Structure 1
Amino acid sequence: MAHHHAHSHADHGHGHAHAHAHDHSHGAGGSERKLLIAFVLTTLMLVAEAAGGLVSGSLALLADAGHMLVDALALLLAFLGARFAARPADARRTYGYGRIEVLAGFVNALTQFALVAFIVFEAVQRLFSPQPILSGVMLAVASLGLLANVFVLRLLHGHDPDDVNVAGASLHVLGDLLGSVAAVLAALAVRWLDWTWADPLLSILVSLLILRSAWSLLRRSGHILLEGTPDGLDLTEIEKALLTADPDITGVHHVHVWQVTAGSRMATLHAELQPGTDQARVLRALKTMLSERWRVGHATIQFDPGRCPDELEGCGKGRSHAR
């Protein structure tokens, strides 16, 4: 039951966001199809860029192809994440498989760091001993890569801002786009100005861009995996607001808000009530406030008779708000 609540909410979020997307699709199916198309296109481009990089001797193309490889894996993981996330919960995984997409985002970010280390190492060597480059081949392949990336980025545009999965994929493709721009610029510099050093230098710039997006993704997915409070929510403020949900509430404590996966928020809390209060009414008031103000799809609420029974375990030391 809990799971149903969480998901109906998450799906609502997805549907809302996808109303702005190009194919006006609702829910996971739309993002699944987009991710699959993006994966196929990226894989084709990565093969072309790797071949082009080897033939022309361009590191910027190889860097972009390397980034696209991580990218293709990212899109594949994101696709599988979206596919598995839709699986129903079972007795062993009561929250379903939603977390797979968060794990995919986390693993993804880590692979980016390894890629950057390789590119920078290679580029530094090339700056000291420049290699000849066939700028014509390089320019043609880089331009093709740029067009493919613009198309894929437009395809993934307009996802739910809370969807770490598609956000991760989009970040990768944006990095790719910048990588392709760098490769085009490097090809022009080598072709018209004979600046062979522009190639490894721009591949280092691409690496810095990859690094920035990887760090952001690592932070966001790590925060969800650590059961962190969703961004933009202040627990102290939530506790104070919940006190005002009903005049019979005398105290609110043990408040936890977290996300199972991006967009599906859960909460647990304890509330102290005046003796003889209508608990059903207070329960409705609290759940309504949590849902409307903070988009919490599923809340578990405990009413404490007098003192909190957890005080024996040191509850008193925790955060507590009373009137």
Structure 2
Amino acid sequence: MSHNHNHSHDHHHHPVEGKNLLFSIVLNIVITVAQVIGGILSGSLALLSDALHNFSDVLSLVFSYVAHKLSRKKASNDQTFGYKRAELIAAFINAMTLIIVALFLVYGAVERFFNPQHIESGLVIWMSIIGIVANGLSVVMLKSDADKNLNMKSAYLHLFTDMMASIAVLIGGLLMKYFQWFWVDSLLTLIIAIYLIIVGFDLLKKSTQMLMLFTPSHLDINEIISEVHKISGVRKLHHIHLWYLNEEELHLEAHLDCSEDIKMSEFNELLDKVEHVLFEKFHINHINIQPEYKKEEESKDFIVQD
């Protein structure tokens, strides 16, 4: 069996420092505590919902930081893939947390809508300003890392949406202060909750697909087969499995039935051509091919349940 990681074709891995992420975690813990205290004192459910959102993002940042550290650990005899899938587990847990928090917020917002309460809008305004400034600082700090690493990009997007949520709370606080529209608090809570559900389900779907080793949704196996079959010397590509190990490593495992009984040195040349096509056209950077020639099998379907 020929097994090539195609390192010369791998995506370039840029060094990413975790210190900015760690600082953002500490900063967001401070924001969350301040917003919880402010939400309780002011009676603002929107501020409390933003605090819960921030807390869920603190967990997300912690998971991202831990995954960032684990991903650097080398593979061993006991962990042949290392800890490269730690980020997917973190994403799955983060998604579930987002959805659960959102459902609690929906319940609280509906209950508050029918039983409105007076809210200290001044405190809401100041707390939201603190959230905007602190989250904005975190966003600026992680921007450069977000351009280099998908894990950092997910953390960056969480912080960016936190900043936007704080802006929404600020607008609500101003409307309550000058127009006495206290129902806006419940409305903003519902909007934040709906957003969390949408983001949570999308993240849950993507992480589940990767954990279950599903074929990436943007790739068509039939198209991959068609391109490989155009290569001279290839008779049939079959027994195909295609999956993401993590967000950066896309793996393909298959049997390759050669059209002629060639030497292994000639197969290496054929494999180089296959690897080139798979990477250039489909960005598949880890390829595991088993060579065959007129091997009799019960089935040579493209997809086979092993």
TM-score (norm 2): 0.90
CA distance in 1, matches of 2:166, 2:241: 44
CA distance in 1, matches of 2:65, 2:241: 30
Whichever residue aligns with residue 124 of structure 1, its letter is: V
CA distance in 2, matches of 1:53, 1:180: 13
Structure 2 SS opposite 1:267: strand
Structure 2 SS opposite 1:216: helix
CA distance in 2, matches of 1:3, 1:95: 15
Structure 1 SS opposite 2:300: helix
Going from structure 1 to structure 2, the CA distance change for 1:244 and 1:220 (only over 3 Å counts) comes to same
Alignment check: 8 A CA contact 2:238 2:300 kept: no
Whichever residue aligns with residue 175 of structure 1, its letter is: T
Structure 1 SS opposite 2:74: coil
* Aligned match of 1:75: 61
Alignment check: 8 A CA contact 1:53 1:62 kept: yes
Alignment check: 8 A CA contact 1:6 1:266 kept: no
Whichever residue aligns with residue 169 of structure 1, its letter is: A
Residue from 234, 258, 277 that aligns with 2:220: 234
Give matches, 1:59-70, under 5 Å: 59-70=45-56
Going from structure 1 to structure 2, the CA distance change for 1:229 and 1:105 (only over 3 Å counts) comes to same
Which region of structure 1 is more displaced relative to structure 2, 75-84 or 134-143? 134-143
* Aligned match of 2:257: 272
Going from structure 1 to structure 2, the CA distance change for 1:166 and 1:183 (only over 3 Å counts) comes to same
Q: Per-residue displacement from partner, 1:22-81 (whole Å, max 9, x unpaired)? A: xxxx3xx33x23321221111111111111111111111110001101010100000001
Q: Per-residue displacement from partner, 1:160-195 (whole Å, max 9, x unpaired)? A: 5882x3343234223322321221011111100011
Alpha-carbon deviation of 1:233?
1.8
Going from structure 1 to structure 2, the CA distance change for 1:173 and 1:243 (only over 3 Å counts) comes to same
Whichever residue aligns with residue 256 of structure 1, its letter is: H
Structure 1 SS opposite 2:274: helix
CA distance in 2, matches of 1:204, 1:238: 44
**Which 5+ residue runs of structure 2 have no aligned equivalent?**
none
TM-score (norm 1): 0.85
Alignment check: 8 A CA contact 2:64 2:87 kept: yes
Residue from 30, 36, 40 that aligns with 1:44: 30
Alignment check: 8 A CA contact 1:9 1:264 kept: no
Q: Determine which structure has greater relative contact order: mean sequence separation of CA pairs < 8 Å that are 6+ residues apart, divided by chain length.
A: 2
* Aligned match of 2:273: 285
Alpha-carbon deviation of 1:255?
2.3
Please state if 1:316 is matched with 2:294.
no
Alpha-carbon deviation of 1:8?
7.9
Give matches, 1:94-113, under 5 Å: 94-113=80-99
Which region of structure 1 is more displaced relative to structure 2, 130-139 or 225-234? 225-234
Give matches, 1:130-279, under 5 Å: 130-157=116-143, 159=146, 163=150, 165-245=151-231, 247-277=232-262, 278-279=266-267
Percent of aligned positions that are identical: 30
Going from structure 1 to structure 2, the CA distance change for 1:304 and 1:236 (only over 3 Å counts) comes to same
Please state if 1:299 is matched with 2:278.
no
CA distance in 2, matches of 1:127, 1:72: 28
Q: Per-residue displacement from partner, 1:180-213 (whole Å, max 9, x unpaired)? A: 1221011111100011111121111111111111
Aligned length: 299
Structure 1 SS opposite 2:245: strand
Alpha-carbon deviation of 1:231?
4.0
Structure 2 SS opposite 1:81: helix
Alignment check: 8 A CA contact 1:175 1:213 kept: no
